[in-house]
Amino acid sequence: MAAAHPEATCLALPVTDQGEEYAYPERVRFQIAERDIRSYERAAEYINLLNVDAVCLQHEFGIFGGNDGRHILSLLKKLQMPVVTTLHTVLEDPSSSIFETMEDLVELSDRVVIMTERGRRILRDTYGVDEEQIALIPHGIPDVPFGNPDVLKPKCGVDGRFMLLTFGLISPNKGIEHVIRALPSIIAEYPQVVYCVLGNTHPSLLRREGESYRMELERLAESLDVSDHVILHNRFIPIHELEECIGAADIYMTPYLNPAQITSGTLSYAFGTGNAVISTPYWHAQELLADGAGILVPFADPDAISMAVKRLISDPDELHAMQHAAYAAGREMIWSEVARKYYDIFEETRREHAGVLTKSPSFRPAGARPTRLPDFKLDHIERMTDTIGIWQHARHTLPVYEEGYCTDDNARALLAVTLLGQVSRAPAERLDRLATSYLAFLNYAFDADKGRFRNFMGFDRSWNEAVGSTDSHGRALWALGTCMERMENPELDAVAAQLFMQALPAARDFEFPRSWAFTLFGTTAYLHHFPGDLYVEHLQKELLHRLMHMMEENRRDDWPWCEDILTYDNASLPKALLLGGEASGNEAAVSLGLESLKWLMAVQTGVSRCFSPIGSNGWFPRGQKRQWFDQQPIEAQSSVSACLEAYRLTGDEEWYREAQRAFDWFLGRNDLGIAVYDSTAGGCRDALHMDRVNQNQGAESTLAFTMALAEMRLAHHEERPARMPTGEDESWRSETEIQDSLPSLVPEEHQEETRHVRDKG
């Protein structure tokens, strides 16, 4: 999975035999004690804590503790994410106890994966599993080039020999003794033949009987005088050595004795890497070797084995044709192909599983009643703040020290507490203490020699870069300008003014539209405080014209936007046009801002007309499908802010309703019906995934909610001016018309996903 999808992080939880210790690789993060049911429950708690997206259970009855391996059910019952269970054994005639275990296992699994068509039929006919719950994915194999066995034989110590091979854990049901009994007849005609058996004795057999079966095989070879033609290699073979041994083999032997074996990983490996196969007709072999892809011989029949081997040795053309056919058929079984199929199932089950975890919100249609705004709660902001500033990230509600601080978040924090000073009942000294930390951070972040802010600071208070991003610089200017406009502490106001003037010149060289937008927010606030500053006025008009030019150059009737893709913090761009246009009396800029914002809000509409921001897992490139997840709080905040600005400018109540719709996203009126704001902790969760919320409450998310709430409160307090002329305002298409012109905005599959969430809720 990790190789096929590098963005995926995979970890493993093995079940460890009692009294055994293994040198597990780094991917193994937690081991389950086979017979300890509490160990299974602790494993579930551990998986839930890691907030993983999906669990893939590899199920075999003999692996897990309890009667018929029922201990694993106690783990599955506690998991909070989808479960995809791969069944390695499916019995056609199960005991009542195994039947009950299978029923429970299927009930607790979102999907069951089977590796053969026979297995699918048994699940459907014997256990009554719904066809839609079953996925058929073959056993995975390594992707190795097709080669000449003679090249690899010297590495395996069989140079010049014709090699028969069996590998895997050794036990009596493998039927190895029947191949040994066939050897005298084979060797009489082809003395160059050697039979290699690679692998340890099965651990459970070893515990019960020691090496009695292996010793029995050795005695049998001696009694038949074929010891020189039998290699019993008693050790675990690393994958690279195993691939060499499989490549050196001429014929792979699976003389298994149990006809009901639904899957054989060793058969898949050998077949898919280009071996001719002679096998008994157990279920998996019957299916894989159909149509002449191998030779099937009766169970426990040395004579039939001897005849099949001699047939292939005597006919090299048939042997080579069989090897090539097996290799070609195996291309669909290589790990990358199998991983892709599993990945698709994980994505499907995440969408479907969302309905199990959520409930449909009780919101009435937008505009039917105002939503009561939550009270302000500073607990989590204070928890995330120390004497240096606000930490970037949190694990749940705990600050993550190792990921340090950043200018972006401290600028947001200064903005938030500045706004809170006007609309909350928090004591002024409490807000001043926070504002002092954030402003001091910005002051330290500014490098006067370069005229730029640094952005990322480590836990050791050292800067991780010489110059930060232009977006972080723009956000700092925005915060400083707002501080001057609204802060009632003259000492902090003076520091903010000095820092703003030092940092502003760098904005002339900014190249990105969001950096221009954030700077425009700062200059607009500054000019409210210091009207008549010609330098700032000129810079503001220059940045506004750049943004307008970019919008006019790129916009089309069906895409009124300044870029070919919608990414992050989108609503800040039309808001900048509105603010800058009003400040400079530029009606064209205001019209562009209203048009692009109206279109954006139509695009950001999901099922049931809830606010549904562009997902960060791929964004929305022009002409392609938009991504629905992961949805970020910053999108809701910037949309609230932009719509309130449009409301303030135009007096159109529809803009206030749009702001309310975006704000309600925090409270649960979203595609999953889950509250993103945590009213208990006072923080905001980091994202809305396709099946749940991200439980971490970092600075950006919490501050986005706080700023959105503060602006909603301000909209009640501030007097609305007269409607500003907006050119072609009345001729704009309605939101419904915009959606009708873009039918792919809410595709059928997303409607189905969301209906599933709400129906199951």
Nearby residues of 182 by Cβ (< 8 Å), 6 or more positions away? 302, 303, 305, 306, 309
Q: Are strands 565-566 and 620-621 parallel, antiparallel or unpaired?
A: antiparallel
Cα 111 from Cα 91, distance rounded (Å): 18
Cα Rg of the chain, angstroms: 34
Phi-psi sector, 616: left (phi>0), alpha (psi -120 to 50), beta: alpha
Cα 324 from Cα 275, distance rounded (Å): 8
**Residue with the larger pLDDT of the pair 738 and 200:** 200
**Same fold across 149-330 and 358-724:** no
**Proportion of the chain above pLDDT 90, given as a percent:** 68
Superfamily of domain 149-330: Glycogen Phosphorylase B; (3.40.50.2000)
Cα 49 from Cα 695, distance rounded (Å): 10
- pLDDT of amino acid 749: 54
Q: How sure is the predictor about 406, in pLDDT bands with cuts at 50, 70 and 90? A: very high
Look at residue 86 and tell me whether its pLDDT is greater than 60: yes
State both tokens at 59. Answer: 């199920």
Look at residue 381 and tell me whether its pLDDT is greater than 90: yes
Q: Is 362 exposed, middle or buried (0-12, 13-18, 19+ CB in 10 A)?
A: exposed
Q: How sure is the predictor about 364, in pLDDT bands with cuts at 50, 70 and 90? A: very low
Q: Are strands 394-395 and 398-399 parallel, antiparallel or unpaired?
A: antiparallel
Look at residue 741 and tell me whether its pLDDT is greater than 70: no
- pLDDT of amino acid 493: 86
Domain ranges of the chain: 15-136, 149-330, 358-724
Look at residue 761 and tell me whether its pLDDT is greater than 60: no
Read out DSSP for 3-21?
Answer: TT-TT----B-PEEPTT--
SS3 of residue 423 by DSSP: helix
| Average pLDDT of the chain to the nearest whole number | 88
- pLDDT of amino acid 368: 36
Look at residue 363 and tell me whether its pLDDT is greater than 50: no
Of 73-82, 274-283, 363-372, which gets the smallest average pLDDT?
363-372
Closest CA to 535 of 494, 493, 505: 505
Cα 154 from Cα 584, distance rounded (Å): 83
**Which residues are registered as beta bridge partners of 394?**
399
CA 87 to chain centre: 24
Q: What is the mean pLDDT of residues 24-46?
A: 87
Q: What angle do CA 421, 424, 429 make, to 5 degrees?
A: 50
630 and 687 Cβ atoms separated by less than 8 Å: yes
Look at residue 745 and tell me whether its pLDDT is greater than 60: no
- pLDDT of amino acid 722: 43
Torsion angle of the four alpha carbons 653, 657, 663, 669, in this order, in degrees rounded to the nearest 10: 170
Look at residue 563 and tell me whether its pLDDT is greater than 60: yes
Sign of the torsion angle spanned by Cα atoms 486, 492, 494, 496: negative
pLDDT in tens, 153-169: 998 889 999 999 999 98
Read out DSSP for 482-542?
Answer: HHHHH---HHHHHHHHHHHHHHGGGGGG--SHHHHHHHHHHHHHHHHHSTT-HHHHHHHHH
Nearby residues of 73 by Cβ (< 8 Å), 6 or more positions away? 101, 104, 105, 108
Residue 219 has a CB neighbour count (10 Å cut-off) of 11
Read out DSSP for 324-373?
Answer: HHHHHHGGGGBHHHHHHHHHHHHHHHHHHHHHHH-----PPSTTSSPPPP
Read out DSSP for 245-290?
Answer: HHHH-SEEEE--S-TT----HHHHHHHHTT-EEEE---HHHHHHTG
Q: Is the pTM of this model over 0.85?
A: no
- pLDDT of amino acid 148: 87
Look at residue 358 and tell me whether its pLDDT is greater than 80: no
Look at residue 737 and tell me whether its pLDDT is greater than 50: no
- pLDDT of amino acid 161: 95
Is the domain 358-724 a CATH 3.30.428.10 member?
Answer: no
- pLDDT of amino acid 491: 85
Distances (CA, A) of 376 to 210, 502, 643, 719: 69, 34, 21, 22
- pLDDT of amino acid 528: 87
Q: What is the mean pLDDT of residues 522-533?
A: 88
- pLDDT of amino acid 751: 52
pLDDT in tens, 1-11: 555 566 678 88
- pLDDT of amino acid 1: 57
pLDDT in tens, 428-473: 889 999 999 999 999 999 999 999 999 999 999 999 999 999 999 9
